[in-house]
Amino acid sequence: MYRWMSDGSLSAEELIATRYARRSGPAEIDRGGGDFRTPTERDLGRVLYSENFRRLAGVTQIVSPSLRDTSTHNRLSHSLRVSQLSREIAVDILRFARLEESAGRGGVRSPVGIAKSGGIDITACAAAGLAHDIGHSPYGHAVGRLLDSWIREVDTDGYEGNAQTLRIVTELAPKPESAHGLDLTAVTLSALLKYPYTRKAGSDKFSMYSGQPELLKFARDALPESDRNGVLRASERQSLEANIVSLADDITYATHDLEDFLRLGLLDINEVIEMLSITSQTLSDLELGDLREDPNVLIQSIVLLNPKETSPVTLEHCTSALRSATSQLKRLAGLVQHQYSDPREVISQVFTVMLGKIIRSIKVLDKPYWDGGPVIMPSPEQWFLTQIMKEVSQTYIIRSSAVSTQERAHKSIVMELLPDILDWITDVTHPAELPPSLREHYTRHGSPNEDGKAARRVVVDYLCSITDAQTSALRLNLRGYSGPLVLTDGT
């Protein structure tokens, strides 16, 4: 059995009580008092109006907010795009499900098929899209890795952006009369569990710090015990909402970051076209075993991505995706070269077409592309296209000299700040000596007066609550580079 919700979402009937419960109490589907919002629409408002979400306007996506123009993305604009794309994917899938229902058809794309995996809540997808990067460190991923290394000296949990996000929305985000952070519903929390487990050996990706088994159980209760692909709730497979948000994040990363660097003129499009052409030809000429010896970084990524022989995704799909990407970028290069219009408009148009093709191919799969994999995916060709563009972003943007120089500067700032903040909190004689937000984290952890797990977690929690600019200003102030100043909160 299933139920259509008032916002067009779909839920398994027997799971409504657990999907829409909050840690503070049972589900309130019909709240009354003139509040006609669904539980997840209230979640969306809680995320949107939180200080932690607003902070993302001052946090690096790829190019630092202090070094960019307004046409490029920061963490806030990235999150808004992920949220909107998550909503669009969810709405499209459920509109198709209604057509299947009207035609009297069953199957995995029908309401019955979707409800077997718990359902899809449209607004939970949008809310999780907004919140998914709330736990991001100041600056870029290089600083996140630095924080992880530093805190793991005393705490095996370390730092991970996804886990920090969950920590913030369930504990740290201030909300009056709540001991559970933003006190989101189970279905929205499950949508945030991109990696629904704690840290494991050999993996740096996880969505939850240890010591929170009750929280994991609460979030996973939004799912049925099992679905058509076997055990679900106790497995490490994502909910359908988490599947959608993760996919939207990948697509946004693969297209918008690349678009930013093209707009800024920091990417040689002809060099990218040449690499894609060479890679396509190599795939046509060699067998998979021979490809493993090829030094081309894109080839190596494709070898790692290529699923098992039983998968419907093949290297032929990858070759087709490479040709498609090459063709679209050649068209872009030609339009920009001849300057038929503003290059920025041309770039946006080409990437809009690319994005549209990916989105229109997304559907609920009869079978995952690999064991334990997501069941909401683009077509094999469009999935490979997304992965290829992500690798292009990694090769030509993330590993570029421009970003590398920026990252070294950011790491230098934070490497100086970590011992400074640690000394600050362990030296104070009274919490009132600390700025309000740092004081809040300090007292939450029992006012630690020596180096250790609690003190370092205070530092990490604090840094993940301030912007890039506040981080830079804090370093100048604590080092005395700015002269005697009156410190304001966060600076």
255 in a domain, yes or no? no
Q: Compute CA distances 265 → 72, 258, 260, 261, 347, whole Å.
A: 12, 11, 9, 6, 11
What is the extent of the structural domain holding 414?
408-478
Residue 456: predicted pLDDT:
96
Give how far the C-alpha of residue 205 lies from the chain's centroid of Cα atoms, to the nearest Å: 12
**CATH number for position 206:** 1.10.3210.10
341 in a domain, yes or no? yes
Q: Are residues 203 and 127 in the same domain?
A: yes
Q: Are residues 62 and 105 in the same domain?
A: yes
Q: What does the pLDDT average to over 153-175?
A: 94
Q: Are residues 450 and 360 in the same domain?
A: no
181 in a domain, yes or no? yes
Residue 393: predicted pLDDT:
79
Query: How confident is the model over 106-143, as pLDDT tens digits?
Result: 999 999 999 999 999 999 999 999 999 999 999 988 99
Strand 376-377 and strand 2-4: the pairing is: unpaired
The mean predicted confidence, pLDDT, of the chain is: 87
Q: What does the pLDDT average to over 59-85?
A: 77
Query: How many structural domains comprise the chain?
Result: 3
Asked if residues 301 and 387 have their Cβ atoms less than 8 Å apart, the reply is yes
Burial (CB < 10 A; 0-12, 13-18, 19+), residue 300, is middle
What is the Cα–Cα distance from 222 to 237, expressed in whole angstroms? 13
Q: Are residues 418 and 394 in the same domain?
A: no
Q: Are residues 218 and 276 in the same domain?
A: no
Q: Are residues 419 and 391 in the same domain?
A: no
Indicate the residue among 205, 231, 257 that finishes a domain: 231
Q: Are residues 274 and 418 in the same domain?
A: no
pTM of the entire predicted model: 0.92
Query: How confident is the model over 376-399, as pLDDT tens digits?
Result: 999 999 998 898 888 887 777 777
Q: Are residues 125 and 27 in the same domain?
A: yes
227 in a domain, yes or no? yes
Residues 6+ apart with CB under 8 A from 153: 456
Indicate the residue among 364, 399, 434 that finishes a domain: 399
What is the Cα–Cα distance from 462 to 459, expressed in whole angstroms? 5
Cite the beta strand spans of 92-169 per DSSP E: 119-120
Residue 65: predicted pLDDT:
59
Asked if residues 246 and 238 have their Cβ atoms less than 8 Å apart, the reply is yes
Q: Are residues 394 and 414 in the same domain?
A: no
240 in a domain, yes or no? no
What is the Cα–Cα distance from 91 to 84, expressed in whole angstroms? 11
Q: Could you tell me the pLDDT band of residue 72, with boundaries at 50, 70 and 90?
A: low
| Exposure string over 315-326, b if 16+ CB within 10 A, otherwise e | bebbbbbbbbbb
150 in a domain, yes or no? no
Q: Are residues 310 and 184 in the same domain?
A: no
Q: What does the pLDDT average to over 361-372?
A: 91
Asked if residues 50 and 323 have their Cβ atoms less than 8 Å apart, the reply is no
Q: Could you tell me the pLDDT band of residue 306, with boundaries at 50, 70 and 90?
A: low
Q: Are residues 283 and 430 in the same domain?
A: no
Whether residue 342 has pLDDT greater than 90: no
152 in a domain, yes or no? no
Residue 28: predicted pLDDT:
85
Terminal Cα-to-Cα distance of the chain (whole angstroms):
54
Residue 310: predicted pLDDT:
62
Q: Are residues 326 and 465 in the same domain?
A: no
451 in a domain, yes or no? yes
DSSP structure class, residue 487: P
